[in-house]
A and B are shown apart, each in its own frame.
Chain A
Amino acid sequence: MLRLIIKKEIQSALRDTRIQFAGTFLILLMLVSVLVGRQGQKQIQKERAEAQATMYDKWVNQGAKHPHSAAHYGQFAFKPKPVLSFLDLGLDNYTGVSVFLEAHKQNEVLYSAAQEGNGMTRFGELTAALVLQVLLPLLIIFLTFNIFSREREEGTLKLIHGQGISMRKLLMGKVWGTYALVLLIFIPVICLAYFLLDQASAGFDPHVGVKFMGLLASYSLYLLIFVLLSVIISAFSKSSSFSLLSLLGLWIAACIILPKATTNLADKVYPTPSQYEFRKTIAEKVENGIDGHNPSDARLADLKKQVLDEYNVSKTEDLPVNWRGIAMQAGEEYTDQVYDHEFSKVENIFKKQNRVSEWAGFINPYLAIRNLSMAFSGTDFHHHVAFVKAAENYRRAFVKKMNKDMEVNDKPGTEDYRVDKEMWESIESFSYEAPDIGKIISVQWRSVTALVFWLVALFTLASIYAPKISRL
């Protein structure tokens, strides 16, 4: 019986020319976004990989020089364009692309695409995510708003009821029938996208297969939630127009108004510090110590005494090692500590802000899927932070190596100490691997739970109240 209902739903929807048109249009949109977006992703990744290689080449061929000059010469880190980013661009246009890595200071990841574009950029790029999160739910609404009320208005509901079909079965039949159509629209294009993945970029992310499955599963859940919600609302609406209006109202609230309001609220509750305060605090803490009672010259004097004692000499000139190398590395490490301290403060504020919209996923499933989709596509905030940290660790490692070399080899008495290519080559080119699926789930569990919560709640609701449909 269930199968019959499902079949009937699919057939009657497929016969509707408006549905045919809307469905084809969505498929075409997704196809365009996948084909053009993939091309763009491939192109950008190619350019970034080339830029990374060129810059590394320049580092290797910088010529013979003092290791500290080389640390000042510095290196670059380019963020690989996530291979799935063409399915969901996420924050990619709003986070920087590359960072200059040099001695003594931690530069910002700069040059975001949004800054280069005019106001049009703020309207976003067409991706499958836009279609699946916003447009497909609208199609679901049109498929379902009169799925019960029409039967009610035409009197067929009583006929069906009279034949002894349970309302629960009828409801589920309509849910699965609609859902089958939805899957028909989105699964083929998304799977096509997977086969078209740029293999060169996929190399940066060994977990891309699992992430893609995660993406697929999240969207399947989200769309099922939307189908359930629409069918239930339709089932308990007296008229088609009432159910259409309430569904459209919900859609506008969930997909258009609430996301902005939620993010704005979060920014109000957890205010972002200004760049000026951030830099000032760092400079002050480096100067006066993290606790404010350990000024930099006292720190230096302590270190000097310690080193002199260790080698049992009285002046730095008598040391068998380069004092400036030691001092510089100590300074570097202290600055790093201060920076980590301050940066993690800002990072935590941002995370708290984002958490507001993660929890809000329990109220608005759109927010849950938005977060999950970005996470699986490698374009969420956590991925950005992971890149920033990887670049910073790389910087620390190579600067340390330069300082160490200077400490050990540029001994007092050495004239015009220089190192060459062999040294530069001993530092490998920057490479970055995106966080794996375990990490993603561990930071996005709220959104996963929110989706599951919605699904369970709606199924429960449906099965408890289904028998009442016929009485309405």
Chain B
Amino acid sequence: MKNLLHICRFEWKNLWRNNTLIILLLVFFGAGIYGIYFGKFEIQKQEDRMATVQEYERQQFDSLLTWVSLDTSIKANQINFRRAVSPTGEGRSKHFTYYVLHHTPPLAGLCLGQRDLFPVYYGLNVTDLARQMNIGELANPMKLLTGNFDLSYVIIFLLPLLIVALFYDLYAKEKEGGTLTLLQSQSVKLSTVLMGKGLLRLLIVLGSATGLLLLGFLLQGISLGQNAGIFFQSLGLIYTYCLFWTAVMAGIIALRKSSATSAIYGLGIWLLLTMISPALLNLFVSAKTPLPNRTDSVHELRTLSGKVWGSPRSFVYDQFYPKYPEYDKGDSINFNQWYYASFTLFDDKANSLNQEYESQVAKRNQLLKKWQWLAPAAMVHENFSSISKTDRESHIRFVKRIHEFHDDLKNTYYPKIFDDENFNKTELMELQAKLEE
């Protein structure tokens, strides 16, 4: 044990005097800090967008609250008053567009994951959700393809390179520098020396990784106290990844090849595990299970829409009332009632189709998951995004929340529409509670 410490201390001096370590750490931390900064920048952009829509939403709602108190004996005020109180809106514009936001999880700026592929907010009113969800965020596909230079990228791609660079000549350097025979003549076993050297390097790697993650929290202003759980989860993941790569390098060193050969082996395995194996996996999976054709659902909806418009009454009586008896008003039915009833029918149809697609997509993603051990880098990335809540699952949970929000909206609006009533001021104030904080 004492020997080991001694070796570590000596090796540290050795490494420190050599510029390579300093250069490597400078590059690694430089890239890391850039990644932290860039992640913050991306997240800030999303937050700004959400803040803009939220402010717009508040302004709009304030107008509703002003309009509801207007003096309707003045003719000019009547339109705005109806805009405020009618649950079906006035003319072609619907009553109110609520914005549901996908709030930024604390770690999103460190691992942007899949968050840049989906909108982080949706604007919705009480009409059918299906068509209001058919919207994407404006994004340059080139940027999506290139991906984000965030902290997770530095950890997944560059950290292994640091490990390769630190470990590759662990043994070969002694041999090539002529110090190997000297070492072998010592009373300490060669394996202990190598162990000590390796241990020190591992400590440097783990220390740098911890430092970088801490820097990430610090520079992005993420509270460590409130997020201690996910901090340690991420740290655990990163440590496992480091240990994995150290083991790979230990295997290479055990072959006792020259430094150039060891470096090439290290780099080769890095290429294989971070780039080639995920790409091969994706190639096979996408050739084997092509993605479902989602246009069918649009087609079903337009057909349904055509039928509803063709004979609105029969649709309401035969399909809507039996399913939703609480809205059954008997024989009397006006335009808005059947019009809004049709939206519920659309959504029911769309939801059942969507479930089918999602199950197909899930099957495909299950296949990827089954083989993901072949691509440890992608596996770590997926786990990191899952810890940061920026993976596809998080988006699906957000969509689920939108569905709940929309159902809630219907529970408020539909009774009004089917009782043919307007909102009064108190009810509008209650609606205001639906706006997100």
Chain A interface (Cβ < 8 Å from any Cβ of B): 18, 22, 29, 32-33, 36-37, 39-40, 43-44, 47, 51, 55, 58, 62, 65, 69, 72-74, 76, 78, 90-91, 93-96, 98, 100, 102, 107-108, 110-127, 130, 134-135, 138, 142, 240-241, 244, 248, 252, 256-257, 259-261, 263-264, 266-268, 271-278, 280, 346, 349-350, 353-354, 357, 381, 384
Contacts and interface: CB of A to CB of B under 8 A. Distances in A.
B260 A244 contact: yes
Contacts of A44: 290
A264 B141 contact: no
11 contacts: A58-B299, A78-B295, A94-B141, A110-B294, A115-B392, A117-B365, A119-B113, A263-B142, A275-B136, A276-B52, A280-B56
Interface in B346-385: 361, 364-365, 368-369, 372, 375, 377-378, 381-382, 385
A120 B136 contact: no
Interface in B265-280: 267-268, 271, 275-276, 278-280
Given A115-B118, A119-B385, A276-B121, A37 B283 contact: yes
Given A47-B293, A257-B31, A124 B134 contact: no
A350 B378 contact: no
B110 to A, nearest CB: 15
B365 A118 contact: yes
A242 to B, nearest CB: 12
Nearest to B357: A116
B142 A119 contact: no
Contact of A115 (B117, B135, B282): B117
A65 B306 CA distance: 10
Contacts of A130: 275, 279
Contacts of B235: none
B157 interface: yes
Contacts of A73: 302, 306
B139 interface: yes
A93 B138 CA distance: 15
B306 A39 contact: no
B153 A260 contact: yes
B125 interface: no
A241 B271 contact: no
Nearest to B139: A272
Contacts of A108: 134-136
Interface of B: 31, 34, 38, 41, 45, 49, 52-53, 56, 113-114, 117-119, 121, 123, 134-149, 153, 157, 161, 259-261, 263-264, 267-268, 271, 275-276, 278-284, 286-287, 290-291, 293-295, 298-299, 302, 305-306, 309, 361, 364-365, 368-369, 372, 375, 377-378, 381-382, 385, 391-392
A354 B142 contact: yes
Contacts of A37: 283, 287
Contacts of B295: 51, 55, 76, 78, 98, 100, 111
Given A76-B299, A252-B161, 7 more contacts: A90-B145, A91-B142, A116-B364, A138-B267, A274-B52, A274-B137, A278-B138
Contacts of A252: 161
A18 B280 contact: no
A29 B260 contact: no
Given A36-B283, A120-B281, A74 B302 contact: yes
A384 B141 contact: yes
A114 B377 contact: no
Nearest to A130: B279
Nearest to B298: A100
Contact of B148 (A126, A142, A264, A268): A264
A256 B153 CA distance: 11
Nearest to A278: B138
Contacts of A142: 264
A324 to B, nearest CB: 15
B214 to A, nearest CB: 23
Contacts of B275: 123, 130, 134
B410 to A, nearest CB: 23
Contact of A126 (B157, B263, B276, B372): B276
A114 B117 contact: yes
Most buried by A among B31, B291, B382: B291
A264 B34 CA distance: 11
Nearest to B393: A118
B146 A263 contact: yes
B140 A353 contact: yes
A120 B282 contact: yes
A106 to B, nearest CB: 12
A278 B293 CA distance: 27
Given A120-B375, A125-B279, A113 B141 contact: no
A126 B282 contact: yes
B282 A121 contact: yes
B114 A119 contact: yes
Contacts of A260: 146-149, 153
B104 to A, nearest CB: 15
Closest 7 CB pairs of A and B: A123-B278, A40-B287, A126-B279, A94-B141, A263-B146, A91-B141, A119-B382
A40 B281 contact: no
A113 B286 contact: yes
A124 B278 contact: yes
B375 A381 contact: no
A208 B382 CA distance: 38
B291 A248 contact: no
Nearest to A270: B140
B140 A350 contact: yes
Contacts of B259: 241
A261 B365 contact: no
Contacts of A264: 38, 143, 146, 148-149
